[in-house]
Amino acid sequence: MVLLAMTGRTEGWIAEPYGSDVSRIIQFAEIDWEQWISILLFNQAKRQQRTSSPLYSLFRALYHLMAVSTGYRMLSQWVSVNPGGDTLDKLVIEGGRPLSGSIRIHGAKNAALPIMAASLLADGEITLHNVPHLLDIEVMLYILERLGCTCRHEQGTVTINTSLVRSHDVPEDLMKQMRSSIFLMGPLLARFGRVSVYQPGGCAIGERKIDLHLRGLEALGAQIEEQDQQIICHGANLTGADIHLDFPSVGATENIMMAAVLAEGTTTIFNAAREPEIQDLQHFLNAMGARIMGAGTDTITINGVEKLQPCTYEIIPDRIVAGTVMIAAAATRGNVTLTHCNPAHLTSLIHVLKRTGVQITVCNDIMTVSCMTRPKSVDRIVTSPYPSFPTDLQSQIMVLLSLADGFSVMKETVFEGRFKHVDELNVMGADISVDLNAAFIRGVPRLYGATVEATDLRAGAALVIAGLAAQGKTIVEQVHHIDRGYDQIEKLFQSLGASVERQSTVSKQLDFAN
């Protein structure tokens, strides 16, 4: 670490030696000596945590004190170093064991991220419960701290103090790392009348434009200037407007809601996205004093208010994590109970799983999924905005269809680049061909273990399911993609009886796509 400090690098990713062969990737920007001390304290805390030492709490408390006073936050992943230093963690899976047992579903990343950004709308301390421990969440906290907030994340509870926000400019390096930093536009513009961000650019799953976000903000009266990759928005006096979205974009709906909440007058968003995460954002904003109606339908009405107050709020369960576990239970012919989930958010998946012959019972926030026989194929599944089949479960359900008896067709209509897992599944013995946005899946009796690579978050989750169901050993590489959306996926499946081990190796650049 000292050597790295001496190199004078001020930005980028580094792998910090830890023990004999383990390393931690941290991102550092403008690190000064106080921040290096906080790195050391963090490192010590982690070391003590591994040996369950009582010193853990001491080092952690000191780290927090130091990190808060210097505005520094660790973006850390525990990974192991290989001598080449150019690959990331791997999961080693011994497949073929039916999953069995009970699992608690963690809070939703896609609800937590916009809600954390929306915290900027109030002046004071916001407390959020059921926030998952994921890399994306840490990145958002890091960005909030760079803007001047003081943040803490402990045991699923996040506190964000927004009283000392001193910057409205989201730095390019952070914007490029996580697309979700686009959520900061609406709240910063609404509260401070100015924001600058950078084009998030395309990513592994598609082009992912932000034109609908920008047009929505312009309709509220913001002036938008684009200089190279930077987007600067001014708008001290936003005014309510009728906004028609060409496509029910989740992010654009959320950004417009957050910008309109402090605008003068009424904003109506037509053709709004209807995802449960949008309802969660409405509930959170209303808990802060906003006056929003209609989230969950395609028309959302926002009556502007003068000011919002800090509040305490609990994030909804993650429907995509729940769906992933349900599909894994079915693909391994297991029997799994999910607790703390919301079955009402999963009706399209439940419908498809029942068509394959999977048994599902629902009781309040508990669901049991079991599958004793070979699943049946489904002639056609089309991904589209909620409440239709979610694009974020497309790759996972394809694993089940690969093992089904018969021929299935999967059409992807939301993202154009979302079939990257197909080649990897074929390496494992699946029989899938792709033509434009349709995948044609001929079910095979079994998959076989292989070394495969996660190309994005959900594709990675699909490969883990494939490995759990396959005969033999599967190695899933590039696990950092999966860590963005699943809190220690290996522990999750271990608790259901699977044989999954993380082999830590190292790292380079992380890509935060969705």
Contact region for ligand UD1 (CB under 6 A) — 68-76, 200-208, 442-450, 466-474? 200-208
Is there binding between residue 181 and ligand UD1 (CB under 6 A)?
no
Q: How many residues at the interface with ligand UD1, by CB under 6 A?
A: 23
Of the candidates 207, 225, 226, 242, which one interacts with ligand UD1 according to CB under 6 A?
Answer: 207
Tokens 């009405």 identify what position?
301
Of the candidates 24, 97, 153, 208, which one interacts with ligand UD1 according to CB under 6 A?
Answer: 208
* Cα 292 to Cα 266: distance, rounded to the nearest angstrom: 10
Residue 367 is encoded by which pair of tokens? 């669901």
Nearest distance in Å: CB 178, ligand UD1: 9
Nearest distance in Å: CB 135, ligand UD1: 13
Of the candidates 43, 119, 370, 391, which one interacts with ligand UD1 according to CB under 6 A?
Answer: 391
Is there binding between residue 251 and ligand UD1 (CB under 6 A)?
yes
Half-sphere exposure of 507 (CA within 13 A, CB side): 26
The three-state DSSP-derived secondary structure of 390-451 is: CHHHHHHHHHHHHCCECEEEEEECCCCCCCCHHHHHHHCCCEEEEECCEEEEECCCCCECCE
* Cα 469 to Cα 404: distance, rounded to the nearest angstrom: 12
Binding mask 86-105 for ligand UD1 (x = CB under 6 A): --------------------
Nearest distance in Å: CB 209, ligand UD1: 4
Is there binding between residue 110 and ligand UD1 (CB under 6 A)?
yes
Confirm if 309 and 289 have CB atoms less than 8 A apart.
Answer: yes
What are the residues whose beta carbons fall under 8 Å from the beta carbon of 466, sequence distance 6 or more? 331, 399, 402, 424, 425, 428, 430, 447, 452, 474
Is there binding between residue 211 and ligand UD1 (CB under 6 A)?
yes
Is there binding between residue 455 and ligand UD1 (CB under 6 A)?
no
Nearest distance in Å: CB 16, ligand UD1: 28
Distances (CA, A) of 82 to 26, 86, 90, 136, 505: 17, 7, 12, 24, 5
Distances (CA, A) of 40 to 47, 57, 87, 196: 10, 14, 24, 33
Binding mask 257-276 for ligand UD1 (x = CB under 6 A): ----------------x---
Q: Which is nearer to ligand UD1, 248 or 443 (CB)?
A: 248
Confirm if 185 and 210 have CB atoms less than 8 A apart.
Answer: no
Of the candidates 392, 412, 424, 453, which one interacts with ligand UD1 according to CB under 6 A?
Answer: 392
Is there binding between residue 514 and ligand UD1 (CB under 6 A)?
yes
Contact region for ligand UD1 (CB under 6 A) — 207-215, 399-407, 470-478, 495-503? 207-215
Tokens 């103090």 identify what position?
161
Residues 412-431 touching ligand UD1, rule: CB under 6 A, are 414-415
Q: What are phi and psi of 65, to 5 degrees?
A: -60, -45
Nearest distance in Å: CB 176, ligand UD1: 15
Nearest distance in Å: CB 131, ligand UD1: 14
SS3 116: helix
SS3 94: strand
Residues 230-249 touching ligand UD1, rule: CB under 6 A, are 247, 249
Q: What are phi and psi of 471, to 5 degrees?
A: -85, 125
What is the DSSP secondary structure assignment for residue 345, as one 8-state letter?
Answer: G
Judging by DSSP bridges, how do beta strands 157-161 and 150-154 pair with one another? antiparallel
Q: Which is nearer to ligand UD1, 177 or 180 (CB)?
A: 180
Of the candidates 117, 121, 135, 210, which one interacts with ligand UD1 according to CB under 6 A?
Answer: 210
Q: Which is nearer to ligand UD1, 96 or 390 (CB)?
A: 390
Confirm if 144 and 126 have CB atoms less than 8 A apart.
Answer: no
Is there binding between residue 213 and ligand UD1 (CB under 6 A)?
yes
Q: Which is nearer to ligand UD1, 453 or 456 (CB)?
A: 456
Confirm if 480 and 507 have CB atoms less than 8 A apart.
Answer: yes
List, by residue number, the catalytic residues: 203
Is there binding between residue 119 and ligand UD1 (CB under 6 A)?
no
Nearest distance in Å: CB 158, ligand UD1: 16
Nearest distance in Å: CB 111, ligand UD1: 8
Q: Which single residue brings its beta carbon nearest to ligand UD1?
A: 251
Of the candidates 128, 151, 212, 222, which one interacts with ligand UD1 according to CB under 6 A?
Answer: 212
* Cα 152 to Cα 201: distance, rounded to the nearest angstrom: 29
Confirm if 103 and 338 have CB atoms less than 8 A apart.
Answer: yes
Is there binding between residue 374 and ligand UD1 (CB under 6 A)?
no
* Cα 163 to Cα 77: distance, rounded to the nearest angstrom: 29
Nearest distance in Å: CB 507, ligand UD1: 23
Of the candidates 43, 180, 370, 408, which one interacts with ligand UD1 according to CB under 6 A?
Answer: 180
Of the candidates 122, 217, 250, 410, which one interacts with ligand UD1 according to CB under 6 A?
Answer: 250
Residue 394 is encoded by which pair of tokens? 């497309």
Interface residues with ligand UD1 (CB under 6 A) are: 110, 113, 180, 206-213, 247, 249-252, 273, 277, 391-392, 414-415, 514
